[in-house]
A and B are shown apart, each in its own frame.
Chain A
Amino acid sequence: MDPLNAFLIVSAGLFSVGVFGVLTRRNAVAILMSIELMLNAANLNLIAFARFGDPTVLAGQVFAIFVLTVAAAEAAVGLAIVLCVYRNIRHINVDDLHILKW
């Protein structure tokens, strides 16, 4: 098998696991973890394309570093928000958030 395809298949699988988690998990923190999986799938794609593409273009690797940073910032803010929600309503189950009508 073409080595690039191997990477792409793994990343597509990772992305699907992430999407599945996002759609089925009801705990806000678990959803956050699934989102991280989706971001890592994209990162894997970027790195694989950078590795097997033009070796003088580093855009993919640089992109991946920035994505890591953004993911960390997003997780930090996300956890802070989850904490605020927990303090206010004592649970973080996204199905039971209905002060605002859906």
Chain B
Amino acid sequence: MPTPILPSGEQFLTILPELVLLAGGMLLLVVEMVWPRNTRLSAVVGIGTLAAALVALAAPWQLAAEGGRVPFLLNAADPAHTNTLLSLSGTVVSDGLALAFKAILLTGGLIVMLMSARYGERFRNPAEFFSLLVFATLASLLLAGAADLLMIYLALEFLSISSYILVGYLKFQPRSTEASIKYFLYGAITAAVMLYGMSLVYGLTGTTNLYPTAGRDFGVQTQLQTLLTSANTRPAILIAAGLILVGLGFKTAIVPFHQWVPDVYDGSPTPVMAWLSVVSKAAGFAALVRVFISLFPAQEWVGPLAILAALTMVLGNLAAIPQTNIKRLLAYSSISHAGYVLMGVVAWGQMQAMGQQLTPWHLYGVPVYLATYVFMNLGALAVVLTFYEENRTHEIDDYAGLSQRSPVLAWLMVFFLLSLAGIPPTAGFIGKFLLLGAAIAAPGLWWLAVVAFVTTVISVYYYWRVVQVMFLRPAQRPEMKRREWGIAWALGLAVFGTAAIFLGAGGFLEMFRLHLP
């Protein structure tokens, strides 16, 4: 019998940001009990919690860096690092991927919290809303750092259950509750399907851990690889992979599991839509990369997932064209962005399947793209929210003449839409460039890069339509006057992030040039 791993207080440093979020979320509940309906105070506590968690992320970073260079994705065949990077009985991993995603998720959560600072006024229990946002962000962090199927399932359900409530938080609005029940039914069904797949993986490998250390000298992936050669176990592995993909595909909103997206995004409160389209999606991708790259053998899933990525890009972009509501337009655009990111994951898997040396394009494409996506999508949604607060409409036609009514908002929207479309002088271009490069560098995936390029051109069309309405149609309403500190900060952060990624890209490119063969 292997010796049990004793827990120690020090290991809790690896989840310090999560602990900060937990304390902050509970503090918000206390705030609601002691000072009910104090939106300003609870917003400050919520923002402070997320900022503190972002600072606390330095602790696991420091711990991981103590063992020398941190591998970007922990490899089970690398015993030196599995001992230092796994903690809490091997359920939490703090490799580069986990830490990078945690930084992305916390930044996204912080911007959403800033966006909703004033939005909370319309709720009876504002601090409860912020507390749910904090808990949902906590769940997304746990998902990004999960190294065990049990942990992935728990974190995913924690994330889902908090988001069901957030989506239906305007509980006297039929739209919001309808979105909530649709989201709930989709989420609960896909999670149950995923759980069945996980139980099969457990039966096949005898462990739920992705990087089992005790009493084994080989990784689970190697074991699955061997099992794949047997005709008895092969179908079970493929079924398990398919079932788990259902759950993760729901979270990331890739194509066959995307039907809920437009309705749920449309019906939910705008800050919650922002949260779902960015933080929840990024967390889903963290788990998707973790499960598919380090658990299932790549040569089996690369083909099907490449087709799904292509379908996601085509369908998301085509369906966005006829939309007349800005929230639905951005919902379909978020589906298409999931397709681009999935293309990056597929390219990564393809390199692994071919046994080729991974380049920085493949490793960093997905996180860099998601980081830019956080800033540009949240920026665009912050503009949408500001517009809604004054005009009470999400129809694109009502954006007519925004350039005269509020030139700052109009130009910010142009900036974020250009970035979403991936037009060269913006951060979105850097992200797309990396992903396209990753797909081209992977053997046999050039067709996926072509699909991505063509669909990007399509996306320019529908983003341009919004710009056209804002600048070329006459204004029908008076100048916009509302100013609000929370959204102003959110917009500022989004612009700063988008610009910083673009300006820092020179450094990235230099790094790639040095690393590329």
Interface string of B128-154 (1 = CB under 8 A from A): 000000000000000000000110011
B203-A49 in contact (CB<8A) = yes
The interface residues of chain A lying within 8 Å CB-to-CB of B181 are 28, 81-82, 85, 94, 97
The interface residues of chain A lying within 8 Å CB-to-CB of B153 are 63, 66-67, 70
Q: Interface size (B, Cβ < 8 Å)?
A: 46
Task: Take A41-B196, A66-B150 as given contacts and tell me if A81 and B206 are in contact as well, using a CB distance cutoff of 8 Å.
Answer: no
Interface string of A48-83 (1 = CB under 8 A from B): 110001101101101100110010011001101110
B263-A102 in contact (CB<8A) = yes
CB distance from B189 to the nearest CB of A (A): 5
Tell yes or no: B375 within 8 A of A by CB: no
* A75 and chain B: residue at smallest CB distance: B188
The interface residues of chain A lying within 8 Å CB-to-CB of B184 are 77-78, 81
CB distance from A49 to the nearest CB of B (A): 4
Q: In whole angstroms, what is the CA distance A62 to B153 when docked?
A: 13
Interface string of A15-29 (1 = CB under 8 A from B): 100110010000010
Tell yes or no: B266 within 8 A of A by CB: yes
Q: In whole angstroms, what is the CA distance A46 to B165 when docked?
A: 29
* B162 and chain A: residue at smallest CB distance: A77
The interface residues of chain A lying within 8 Å CB-to-CB of B161 are 70, 73-74, 77
Question: Interface-forming stretch among B76-84, B167-175, B282-290, B387-395?
Answer: B167-175
Interface string of B352-395 (1 = CB under 8 A from A): 00000000000000000000000000000000000000000000
Q: In whole angstroms, what is the CA distance A85 to B177 when docked?
A: 6
* A18 and chain B: residue at smallest CB distance: B192
The interface residues of chain A lying within 8 Å CB-to-CB of B471 are none
The interface residues of chain B lying within 8 Å CB-to-CB of A59 are 150, 202, 207-209
CB distance from A15 to the nearest CB of B (A): 6
Q: In whole angstroms, what is the CA distance A67 to B153 when docked?
A: 9
The interface residues of chain B lying within 8 Å CB-to-CB of A60 are 199, 202, 208
CB distance from A20 to the nearest CB of B (A): 12
A31-B185 in contact (CB<8A) = yes
Give B223-267 interface residues, CB cut-off 8 Å to A: 259, 262-263, 266-267
A42-B178 in contact (CB<8A) = no
B266-A45 in contact (CB<8A) = no
Q: In whole angstroms, what is the CA distance A53 to B205 when docked?
A: 10
CB distance from A93 to the nearest CB of B (A): 11
A42-B198 in contact (CB<8A) = yes
CB distance from B453 to the nearest CB of A (A): 31
Interface, chain A (partner B; CB < 8 A): 8, 15, 18-19, 22, 28, 31-32, 35, 38-39, 41-43, 45-46, 48-49, 53-54, 56-57, 59-60, 62-63, 66-67, 70, 73-74, 77-78, 80-82, 84-85, 88-89, 94, 97, 99-102
List the 6 closest A-B pairs by CB distance, nearest first: A45-B199, A38-B192, A49-B203, A100-B263, A88-B174, A42-B195
Besides A81-B177, A84-B171, 7 more A-B contacts (Cβ < 8 Å) are A32-B188, A39-B195, A60-B199, A62-B150, A77-B164, A85-B178, A94-B185
A-B contact pairs, 19 of them (CB 8 A): A31-B189, A42-B195, A43-B199, A45-B196, A46-B199, A53-B206, A56-B2, A59-B150, A60-B208, A63-B199, A74-B191, A77-B164, A77-B184, A80-B165, A81-B165, A81-B177, A85-B177, A100-B175, A100-B263
